Structure 1
Amino acid sequence: MPRQPRRRSYDQHCAAARALDLVGDRWTLLVVRELLAGPRRYTDLHADLPGVSTDMLAGRLKDMEGAGLATRRRLPPPASASVYELTPRGRELLPVLRTLAAWGAPDLGEPRPTDAVRAHWYAIPLLDALAELGPGVVQVTLDEGEFHVRIEVDGGVSYGDGGVTAPDARLRTDTATCRALATGELTLGEAVASGRAALEGVAPAGVPA
């Protein structure tokens, strides 16, 4: 499979430049976004990264393996596929993506006619809003699909694509409300009180259980 040529280093003794040497290529951080949701097969990655060519995706994954950001492993029988997953170093990029998402949220607006949409793409922008619910697993359902957010006792958060068995709480809402929560235009308590979101299992601050 032909490889996309790797961009040369910026050759600058600067932490930001060095970081961009590793993750500044087109698509790399979006591959990270997908793998933060859990191990993924190549075909699943390609399906959830509309617009990326097979050559580009293969090249980015190879580069990420070489940089120690991702690994590939074979699933045990009876599965016959390999999956890619982030290394601990790769998972350290979650705060970077959270900050980037917070910075970009005000410009999100309504989806354009050409925009693809996946439910789990709203996970990162919602992490702060959902963290107030306290430790546990929150399953989020949108018309576009489901994802879940895991909130640890120490305040750490992670997310995964799809639903889970017996979550601690269930949130149903829509993408417009997700955008309002991401920008801080709306709090989770306000979303529930106004009927824009339905929450089962726990009540957000300011809303009676």
Structure 2
Amino acid sequence: MTTTARGERQYRQYCGLAAALDTVGERWTLLIVRELLLGPRRYTELLADLPGIGTNLLADRLKKLGAAGIVERSATGTGHAYRLGPLGEQLREPVLALSKWGIGLLGEPSADMVTRPHWALLAVQSMADASRLPAVAETYEFQVDDETFHLTVDRGALTTARGPADAPALSIRTDATTFVRIGAGALGPFEALATGKLTFSGDPDAVVRCSTVLGLMARPEQMVRERLRRF
């Protein structure tokens, strides 16, 4: 790795991966992209949801992402907001795939770790695979702390959106840490139900289908249904 005259470190390798890392491989850069995957954010919002980054470092990263054409700044009624440009939108699938890979590396969170409820929506986007239920058409609603979003499965296709759903087959309520722990396999959904960390309303069979779409079904379906009917 070499350092340019501007102090930027580059791999100087004629390789697509090296070129990508030259652009978005610095610390915090992909986490900024993660925040913008859900839509435009103001500078203060980014600073609040990236604890530890520091205002000068955030400004530096946004400047570099803007120069690379990944992030754009636009005027709002109260100032400015940052959003992903067309080049940045191309990072959506790679970032979600990396998130899906990384969630398997998570264990129990330490006391100094933070989480945000809107990260749960990105986790659902990375985990969901509607092709696991090609004949199903229904919607699942998630209320994670103060964030509400829903996932619609429609015969092999899926969409996600923020806000409540109309007549969801299943509505799940939990907190952000519990949601991530379940996704990471650090907490079983039944344990979360038994301790009140997670509650649901709707068709118990929809819990099985939702878990299947999210890749959480590790037990035989009949056993799952029998246990769900106890709650």
On whether the aligned pair clears a TM of 0.5, the verdict is yes
Going from structure 1 to structure 2, the CA distance change for 1:117 and 1:139 (only over 3 Å counts) comes to same
**Corresponding position of 1:181:** 183
Alignment check: 8 A CA contact 1:61 1:70 kept: yes
Instruction: Return the structure number with greater relative CO, CA threshold 8 A, min gap 6.
Output: 1
Amino acid across the alignment from 2:48: A
Secondary structure of residue in 1 paired with 2:111: coil
Counterparts of 1:129-140 in structure 2 under 5 Å? 129-130=127-128, 132=130, 139-140=141-142
Counterparts of 1:53-64 in structure 2 under 5 Å? 53-64=54-65
Amino acid across the alignment from 1:52: I
Cα RMSD between the aligned structures? 3.4
Q: Does 1:203 align with 2:206?
A: yes
Secondary structure of residue in 1 paired with 2:102: helix
Amino acid across the alignment from 1:141: Q
Alignment check: 8 A CA contact 1:36 1:159 kept: no
**Corresponding position of 1:39:** 40
Between the aligned partners of 2:95 and 2:109, the Cα distance in structure 1 is: 20
Residues 38-83 of structure 1 show CA distances to partners (whole Å, capped at 9, x for unaligned) of 10000101010000111110111111111111101101xxx22111
Of the two, which has the highest radius of gyration?
2
2:81 equivalent among 80, 83, 87: 83
Amino acid across the alignment from 2:23: L
Between the aligned partners of 2:127 and 2:173, the Cα distance in structure 1 is: 14
TM superposition shift of 1:140: 2.3
Counterparts of 1:20-35 in structure 2 under 5 Å? 20-35=21-36
- For structure 1, the residue ranges without an aligned partner over 5 or more in a row are none
Alignment check: 8 A CA contact 2:107 2:184 kept: no
Amino acid across the alignment from 1:34: E
Counterparts of 1:7-156 in structure 2 under 5 Å? 7-75=8-76, 79-127=77-125, 129-130=127-128, 132=130, 139-143=141-145, 145-149=146-150, 151=152, 155=157
Alignment check: 8 A CA contact 2:47 2:55 kept: yes
Secondary structure of residue in 2 paired with 1:40: coil
Amino acid across the alignment from 2:181: R
Identity of matched residues, %: 35
Between the aligned partners of 1:182 and 1:135, the Cα distance in structure 2 is: 26
TM-score after normalising by structure 2: 0.68
Q: Which moved more, 1:91-100 or 1:59-68?
A: 91-100
How many residue pairs are counted as aligned between the two chains?
A: 195
TM superposition shift of 1:192: 10
- For structure 2, the residue ranges without an aligned partner over 5 or more in a row are 1-5, 210-220
TM-score after normalising by structure 1: 0.74
Going from structure 1 to structure 2, the CA distance change for 1:39 and 1:184 (only over 3 Å counts) comes to same
